[in-house]
Structure 1
Amino acid sequence: MELEVRHLRALCAIADTGSVRKAARLLGMTQPSLTTQLQRIENAIGGELFTRERTGSRVTPLGRSVLGRARPIVAEMNALIEEARSAAGRATGSRLWIGSTNSRAVPGWLRRLRARFPDVDTTIRTDASPNSLLQMIADHQLDVAFVHEVAGAPLRIPEGVELRVLVPREPQFVVLPDVHPAARLPVVRLVDLAHDQWMVDPSVDGELTGLRRVLAAAGINPRMVYGDYMTAADLVAAGEVVSPCQPTARARPGTAVRPLEGDPLTVRLMVACRAGAAAPPGIEAVFGDLAAAYREVAWSCTAYRAWLVRQDPPLPPFQLPERLPVPVPVPQ
């Protein structure tokens, strides 16, 4: 087997994410496919590059040596691809690649961008992992990304990526069966859900950690199951689980969306792009359109609107996002 650039990208992705599962999502592959590819790479090299642990994949000394050679090659190839894409964009018009974690603000954002830039080829990539989207910004695979950071679980910010805060503190609500006794309450306490089974998606960076933290702080240790949030919605409607959700979430038949007392679980909503001169043209307008789209969705949701009017001031600051400092590179 001859190693190709795609194989080197796979090794870098596993090292950067610390997990074959997360790396597969970043690369747009299935986990079994990436596992098979890694085994073939290790067979070709003649040694183990990662040790498989319960918490993920750890780089071996041989792996560090291989990655030291692989990273410059991948970086050069990324630069070559970006230059070629930029040249193609100049020849045929313009393009804008945006990314986002799951959010109901995305359709309105896209609608506004396409109205503002009718001659721009705007495409979107969605991913459950904010860290994966940030890495795609750094690798020139995306121009802009809309991400969230769970309180107490900081994101990994790659070198050269700039973040701006859209909403400093968005509360996370809970979705529960509409026949649940707590569904009759305007605001739900965590202790009201102490005997329920909770469902969370562990592939969404920080969400499992954040939920465990707030449940422990409330002095409860409920049963926990894992899966994606589309499945969770079906199980909530069936009366099997309760689940954290965004405040902009729509209540499906058989479910109710309620705020949590004291807002113990929160996230920070941010937009990311490459820093300085590397930022795409028109970035301020792109940020402004996202703020408008988020505001539109926020006020259209009954539960979130009620939460907003109880705040002081009653509406979070949706002006152009505050720019955060470009982070110091973290050693790999």
Structure 2
Amino acid sequence: MENTVKIRNLKFYLLLLISGFIFSLFSCEKDEMTMSREGLLNDSSEANLKKIDLSSKSDKMYPIFDSNFELALIEKGLDDHLDGQVLKETVLSITELDISASGISSLNGIEYFVNLIKLNCNNNNLTTLDLGKNKALEELTCNTNQLEFLDVRKNKDLKVLHCNTNQLQSLDLRKNTLLERLFCNHNLLESIDLSENKSLIELYLNNNKLTSLDLSENSVLERLLCNKNNLESLDVSNNNSLLFFRCNNNNISCIQVNQEQLDNIPSGWPGGHGEGEAPDDGGEHDDGGEHGNDGENGGHDDGGDEGNTQFIYSLNCNE
């Protein structure tokens, strides 16, 4: 009887021990799950904070995709380190930017420079250039690149365009009604529409493939250089302000003029009084883009001719 009671007590204590062990095990697992959940929540909170920080930073920055473009900005003191982005505040403060000779292949990101008035990107490796977002732009210099496409149709304030020594086969300037000076030597243009550029004062189109050139709407034009093209005719009868022109190495023998011009051939025209004496320009005129800097040497591009072609001036070259 006594043994039976002892066995029962032993079983009871054993059962209590097992129950306690199971309870402890369950409590540990619960604590671990709680800690794990809290850890996940903490991690999630940190991730959200990081996301917020990144988002906040992104709101203050603009992306720059070409590392050489960003390096050029760093050299100008407009950025501090190479990370593919630049401060929005800095970009919006820039009105003039010279990033010439910087090895740039793409100007993606230039669209954020919405207050840009003057841009010089000479001597780079650009093949396309779209400045549709830079509506304040007044002067663009993009000589000596490899441009096959140049879009300035939305730059209605553009007054000066230098695009010498590229691969342009076409150039749409019909929306650039304020354009005063165009330097587009050494390209592949076969035609160009200047009918809407009524403010044009200077026109340089040497070394292209032009077969015709209509200047009837350019009444204030003062300087014209169109050497080394495929022109067969030229009518300057509506260009009473024309003081200087060269049109050597074309297929032109007769220049159509009006009576006033015929009576007094300007000195800056081939065959005019004091032929070859161009008006003083202060060394500001285009040298044809041979050196990548317009007017650097203060010369006038004559297309490489040693002498001036002699023309017949007539009131009607078709007779």
Normalising TM by the smaller chain, what interval?
under 0.3
With structure 2 as the length reference, what TM-score do the two structures score? 0.26
Q: Which has more radius of gyration?
A: 2
Larger relative contact order (C-alpha < 8 A, sep ≥ 6)? Answer: 1
With structure 1 as the length reference, what TM-score do the two structures score? 0.25
* Structure with the larger strand share: 1
